[in-house]
Amino acid sequence: MANILVIEDEIRVATLIKRGLDESGHTVYTAADIATAKYLLDEIHFDIIISDVILPDGNGFELCQQIREKNSRIPILMLTALGTTDDKLVAFNAGADDYMVKPFDFRELEARIQVLLKRKSDLPSAVESDELTYADITINLHTKAVERNGISISLTPKEYKLLLFFVQNPDRVISRSEIAMKVWDTHFDTGTNFIDVYINYLRKKIEKQFSSKLIHTKPGMGFIFTSKHENTD
């Protein structure tokens, strides 16, 4: 069972979420604004955060980024009426782990919470050393520092998670659906291109100033992260 912080200014929605999660055995705290949320975050250890975007005293995207700068591991799920691809990209770029659009099915919300909590609990056992390397890429798993051929590369939280997943799964074709599930803990929506957008973001940062490519497109199948010669882009 988890300590969950729900940041939501609509009392009806906050009450609905709290009641449902309480019944599942979780301990739920609610905050109607950013100031209250920050106070609770300073006082209580939370296992997961569920946050709206439009709040009375600020922007949930900015709050997400601020939380992520202090805590790289706590799962953050954005729950909002804003449902465009651009909104989702902003959320993921700010460090959100998942994104749901209102109105929502509570069963789906609970399922996504369980996925995020399981991934968090599995993380320590998956970390076996301080560094992870592939070809000339080096990732420090504690500091989240990334280098290629000794050159430091600055990545956003989502770009980092995408690269980490690639480095952990080299030399095999990975579908967009698998990336969506393993990196974003969500199902791939064929009507959006946010995965390709982030692939391009990552390519620019880890390939543009280097002679060899690592991320290759497999048309109709997905992508492969490899240092071996590939004929695809």
- The structural domains of the chain, with segments of one domain joined by +, span 3-125, 127-225
Question: Do 127-225 and 3-125 fall under one CATH topology?
Answer: no
Mean residue pLDDT across the chain? 88
CATH tag, 3-125: 3.40.50.2300
Mean pLDDT of 132-149: 90
What pLDDT shows up at residue 125?
A: 45
The CA-based angle 101-2-10, given to 5 degrees, is 40
Chain segment 164-181, per-residue pLDDT in tens: 999 988 999 999 988 988
pTM for the whole thing?
0.58
Give 127-225's CATH code, choosing from 1.10.10.10, 3.30.70.980, 2.40.50.140, 1.10.3720.10. Answer: 1.10.10.10
What pLDDT shows up at residue 184?
A: 76
pLDDT exceeds 80 at position 130 = no
3-state secondary structure the chain: CCEEEEECCCHHHHHHHHHHHHHCCCEEEEECCHHHHHHHHHHCCCCEEEECCEECCEEHHHHHHHHHHHCCCCCEEEEECCCCHHHHHHHHHHCCCEEEECCCCHHHHHHHHHHHHHHHHHHHHHCCCCEEEECCEEEECCCCCEEECCEEECCCHHHHHHHHHHHHCCCCEECHHHHHHHHHCCCCCCCCCHHHHHHHHHHHHHHCCCCCCCEEEECCCEEEECCCCCCCC
What pLDDT shows up at residue 43?
A: 85
